[in-house]
Amino acid sequence: MATALFDIPVHRLDGAPDSLAPYRGSVVLVVNVASACGLTPQYESLERAYETYRERGFVVLGFPCNQFGAQEPGTSDEIAEFCSAKYDVKFPMFEKIDVNGPARHPIYATLVAEQPEASESDDTFRKKLEGYGVKAARPDDVLWNFEKFLASRDGRVVGRFAPAVTVDEPLLRDAIERELNA
């Protein structure tokens, strides 16, 4: 399954057909993103990590998703404008997709199959969501916006990180470093 991730068809944010094949050989962080979420400021740290590590073969791939609180309602053009104007995002962005349910995009079907459970620094965010009555329908479902999947240079999913875990936290930062040094 390691190379399957790179072979799955996707569309860029501008609608152009593509795949993740150009990222084969890179350490890849796949993130479902949203423009109107309390976690949206993570765009800053994601972009910073991309800029910091990209010369070493690291890339962040953003997949907008509107499945959590309708927090990504925009069109592709609106999303691109928001990311550029507000956070100066330069990492690759792809079309808006579903990450859960019957219309789950094949990228996420592959990611979830390889890493069915997310690592958390603590379960505060999960408990906060449960306080609002939000629970994953299935144990392996993506919990919320900004959940992160880390894939090795050969496309194996080596980590999954809860939405509140940022790339600045040792849990994720150390995993990225480990893969870059592998």
Please give the pLDDT value at position 3. Answer: 57
The proportion of the chain whose per-residue pLDDT surpasses 70, expressed as a percent, equals: 97
- Catalytic pick from 37, 97, 112, 118? 37
Please give the pLDDT value at position 101. Answer: 94
Contact 106, 8 (CB under 8 A): yes
Burial 46-80 (b: 16+ CB within 10 A, else e): bbebbeebeeeebbbbbbbbbbbeebbebebeebb
User: What DSSP character marks residue 74?
Assistant: S
**pLDDT of residue 139 exceeding 80:** no
**pLDDT of residue 74 exceeding 60:** yes
Average pLDDT (100-105) is: 96
156 vs 170: CA distance, rounded Å: 21
The predicted-structure confidence for 28-67, as pLDDT tens digits, reads as follows 999 999 999 999 999 999 999 999 999 999 999 999 999 9
Instruction: Transcribe 91-129 into DSSP letters.
Output: S-BB---B-SSTTB-HHHHHHHHH--S-B-S-SHHHHHH
- Check if 65 is active-site: no
Please give the pLDDT value at position 1. Answer: 40
**pLDDT of residue 127 exceeding 80:** no
- How many C-beta neighbours within 10 Å does residue 98 have? 16
Angle between the N-to-C axes of helices 76-87 and 42-53, in degrees from 0 to 180, rounded to the nearest 10: 80
Return mean pLDDT, the chain: 92
* Alpha helix (H) residue ranges in the chain: 4-7, 42-53, 76-87, 106-114, 124-131, 170-181
Average pLDDT (116-137) is: 75
Any idea which fold 4-181 has?
Glutaredoxin (3.40.30)
The residue extents of the domains of the chain are: 4-181
